[in-house]
Structure 1
Amino acid sequence: MDPDSESVPAAQEVDGSVMEGGGQILRVAAALSCITGAAVNISKVRAGRSSPGLRPQHLSGLQLVSDLCGGVLQGANIGSTDVRLTPGKIRSGSYTADTQTAGSVCLLLQVALPCALFTDASSQFCLKGGTNAEMAPQIDYTLKVFKPVLEKFGVHFDCDIRMRGYYPKGGGEVSVTVNPLKQLQPVTMIERGNITKIHGRAHVAGVLPYKLAKDMSAAAVRTIRKEIKDLYINIQALQEKDKACGSGNGIIIIAESSTGCLFAGSALGKKGVYADKVGIEAAEMLLRNIRHNGCVDEFLQDQLIIFMAAAKGTSRIRTGAVTLHTQTAIHVAEQLTEAKFTITKCEDELSSSVTFIIECQGSGVDNLNL
């Protein structure tokens, strides 16, 4: 048969240098290609980054998606700036992905999870790399913020932390089970309500002293107290002995609202940075995300776009300032699906903060395998 004949659909062209110009374009495009069954050509991969092209973590994510859908990958090697994914049929099963670096397991999950929802049975993933890595959500964020909010869309997955891995060694491992669904439900999150609870964990692993965890926790509580006087704040200080590879320290603080909205602030320790400073950085990030009166924090915003785009019906989510990551995810989602997004600015008489409502008429992807 002539390969140029009508039956071979042309691949969708995605420009990897637009807007945010990072790995996120790759993740959203690969996942949507897998879900919709349409081939994608992604050019100028990560053109906006200091070391452009595929890094080990992006490559392992792409290979994972390709495995999931029995796809064909072209241009999949380190440093490559042009990649093509031609997906086959999505299949449930057991999959392993290993960045072999401190590359984030959470970013591997970000690309695989949407695909695994459209299989015929539950899938198991063994993901290896960094669990608490820079420039990516910490695994605690994935479990405590991302997972409960995704449940509103009807998504159910379990995640077990087998081993924590820190920069530069990695060596972390999580085991994830994802259940498929018939369709994603649309979600409305526009009333934030009041903050009712603040809790978190400050941890040290490896050779670092327990005192660092206590210092991070105390500094974070002091910082939050200046602004939020009347809430009990519980940030546990933990020493991770046997479930951590390498040495590292970090903190994540989560706020819950009366309507079930979740927000987080987090920070990781670095060589030569005082523990107090790490605690204060996480607390300030949390406070910044609470002040705007939206229903999601700046990091959840862009992670929800792909689910809004695939859901059947209209989702509406109130946010603070719309991030470039979110605008980029919307751009790719609109290009690869029938979803339509609108962003409306809301002036609030009661507070000085400006919020936005991201509305999406989802494309209503059906799971044809169930």
Structure 2
Amino acid sequence: MDKSDKKKLVTLDGRTGEGGGQVVRVAVALAALTGTPLRIDNVRGNREGPRGGGLKAQHVSCIKTLADATDAEVTGCSVGSKSFQFRAKLSPTEIVNRNIKVRADSAASVLLVFQATLPFLLFAGDESGSPISLTIQGGTNVSFSLSFEYLDQVLLPSLERFGIKVERKLEYRGWSHGTREIGSIKFKVTPLGPGQTLKAPAWPTEPGNVTKIDISLVVPRDVQAALKKSLLFELDLVFPGVEIDFIVIDDSRHKSRLYTLLVAHTTPGLRFGRDWLYDKKTKDKSPDQLSTEISQKVVDDLDVEIRKGGLVDEHLQDQLIVFQALAEGMSNIAGSAEALASDRDRVDRTDMPFGDGSLHTTTARWVVSQLLPHVKWVDGGRLCEGAGWKTIDADVESTAEGVQSLSINASTA
């Protein structure tokens, strides 16, 4: 049954600096889930240079995948488009295809498509508890996006604290560096049962001490030995006595493909990840030179992340915003010691990006607030009182009542 006509159109301005793509991903995910008609103008409007302006291939894949699942009316969905509209007709519980395949014709990020579709699929449960299979082709290791390794080792284990279950398998890698290749990841999502909600996680209240660091290397074979040696040296300087484990060592099969991920495990079970898909010229650089440069950067980045004293790393924090907002109950997932130590009880204004964290994090909070207006954020986003979302008609209509016609300029982000 099409209920979208009962809801007012939400209009967002996509001029959000580095958060431009974030607006598209988060807004379309929630528009599909809630059935809220959506329009985004000035898509990635503050971008300049080769990364500038309009929808990218991965954004188009996100929109089309959710449009197919919801039988949505869509206009302006093409690469380079500066404005588009999305109006879902079907709710998650009305999904027909439980074996979804997304085929990209470029190395567009698989993980961005997955991030956009997961909130919708989580609420597509049926009475028999059938899982949903999702296979996405595209880039698994691409610039300005999560890698499969980060998703597998940091994001999905963290989402398990919300009760989210996703099986994943890397079938083959896809790269934006070197000769472009299309990869594939297969997911099996276990949706919530009809009428069920996500629960706010019992997140640790202190970051704890680093007990172990896992390392993933996807680099040319002739760089592996030098990089392993350099990483061990740098880590011993910064994290002396901490257990080190190389859990992934793969041949990237191209001199321009150098990917490294460090994941620190702490005493209360938190994970902090920092990675680098090398984005500089490799010509005339020896394996030793490349290894020193890479190891110094990723180790220093991890050290900075740990020293912030928060409960989540910078990249994970913005990924959790949607799930905090959808969950039932209060969550506190502070990104820094300052935010963690604060105790103010002031409700946040949500008419622009706000709160603790990176620009992607503050933008995600703002977008979520426009599509889930009953969510309450307190003390710069330190606390989130979630909506307790359930995909049933009463909740859809109740939530929609709080949505007003909006035209918001986020260019100040």
Tell me what 1:220 maps to. Answer: 231
The structure-2 alpha-carbon separation of the partners of 1:325 and 1:341, relative to structure 1 and needing over 3 Å to count, comes to same
The structure-2 alpha-carbon separation of the partners of 1:239 and 1:8, relative to structure 1 and needing over 3 Å to count, comes to closer
CA distance in 2, matches of 1:78, 1:219: 41
Secondary structure of residue in 2 paired with 1:61: helix
- Greater relative contact order, per chain length (Cα 8 Å cut-off, separation 6+): 2
Secondary structure of residue in 1 paired with 2:64: helix
Tell me what 1:322 maps to. Answer: 357
Letter in 1 for 2:364: A
CA distance in 1, matches of 2:248, 2:182: 23
Alpha-carbon deviations, 1:68-118, whole Å to 9, x = none? 222121110111111111112221512222332222111111101111001
Tell me what 2:170 maps to. Answer: 161
Aligned residue pairs total 346
Greater shift, 261-270 or 92-101, is seen at 92-101
Choose which of 276, 279, 302 in structure 2 pairs with 1:267: 276
**Alpha-carbon offset, residue 66 of structure 1:** 1.3
User: Comparing both structures, which one devotes a greater share of its residues to strand?
Assistant: 1
Secondary structure of residue in 2 paired with 1:159: strand
CA distance in 2, matches of 1:358, 1:217: 38
Tell me what 1:53 maps to. Answer: 54
The structure-2 alpha-carbon separation of the partners of 1:153 and 1:239, relative to structure 1 and needing over 3 Å to count, comes to closer
Choose which of 350, 354, 378 in structure 2 pairs with 1:342: 378
Secondary structure of residue in 2 paired with 1:152: helix
> Is 1:139 aligned to residue 148 of structure 2?
yes
**Alpha-carbon offset, residue 203 of structure 1:** 2.0
* Equivalent residues of 1:130, 1:171 under 8 A apart: yes
CA distance in 1, matches of 2:248, 2:87: 47
Alpha-carbon deviations, 1:243-271, whole Å to 9, x = none? x8997221111111111110011112344
After superposition, where does 1:136-285 map in structure 2 within 5 Å?
136-168=145-177, 169-181=180-192, 182-189=196-203, 190-204=205-219, 208=220, 210-236=221-247, 238-240=249-251, 248-270=257-279, 271-272=281-282, 274-285=290-301
* Equivalent residues of 1:250, 1:278 under 8 A apart: no
**Alpha-carbon offset, residue 10 of structure 1:** 2.5
**Alpha-carbon offset, residue 334 of structure 1:** 0.7
Secondary structure of residue in 1 paired with 2:162: coil
* Equivalent residues of 1:216, 1:277 under 8 A apart: no
% identical equivalent positions: 29
* Equivalent residues of 1:183, 1:366 under 8 A apart: yes
* Equivalent residues of 2:211, 2:243 under 8 A apart: no
Secondary structure of residue in 2 paired with 1:367: coil
User: Comparing both structures, which one devotes a greater share of its residues to helix?
Assistant: 2
> Is 1:312 aligned to residue 301 of structure 2?
no
TM-score (norm 2): 0.79
* Equivalent residues of 1:187, 1:317 under 8 A apart: no
Choose which of 314, 317, 331 in structure 1 pairs with 2:366: 331
After superposition, where does 1:38-187 map in structure 2 within 5 Å?
38-50=36-48, 51-89=52-90, 90=92, 91=95, 93-120=98-125, 121-168=130-177, 169-181=180-192, 182-187=196-201
Letter in 2 for 1:343: D
Tell me what 1:360 maps to. Answer: 384
The structure-2 alpha-carbon separation of the partners of 1:70 and 1:245, relative to structure 1 and needing over 3 Å to count, comes to farther
CA distance in 1, matches of 2:324, 2:302: 24
* Equivalent residues of 1:235, 1:253 under 8 A apart: no
The structure-2 alpha-carbon separation of the partners of 1:138 and 1:220, relative to structure 1 and needing over 3 Å to count, comes to same
Letter in 1 for 2:367: V
Secondary structure of residue in 1 paired with 2:173: strand
> Is 1:289 aligned to residue 305 of structure 2?
yes
Letter in 1 for 2:99: S
TM-score (norm 1): 0.88
CA distance in 1, matches of 2:359, 2:37: 25
Alpha-carbon deviations, 1:145-189, whole Å to 9, x = none? 000110001100011000011124131100011111121111243
CA distance in 1, matches of 2:318, 2:259: 23
* Equivalent residues of 1:266, 1:281 under 8 A apart: no
Letter in 1 for 2:75: Q
Letter in 2 for 1:295: L
**Alpha-carbon offset, residue 236 of structure 1:** 5.0
CA distance in 2, matches of 1:238, 1:87: 43
* Equivalent residues of 1:164, 1:173 under 8 A apart: yes
Q: What runs of 5+ residues in structure 2 fail to find an aligned partner?
A: 337-355, 394-413
Which 4+ stretches in 1 moved above 4 angstroms? 244-247
Q: What runs of 5+ residues in structure 1 fail to find an aligned partner?
A: 1-5, 345-356
Letter in 2 for 1:162: E
**Alpha-carbon offset, residue 19 of structure 1:** 5.4
The structure-2 alpha-carbon separation of the partners of 1:239 and 1:19, relative to structure 1 and needing over 3 Å to count, comes to closer
CA distance in 1, matches of 2:311, 2:66: 30
RMSD: 2.1
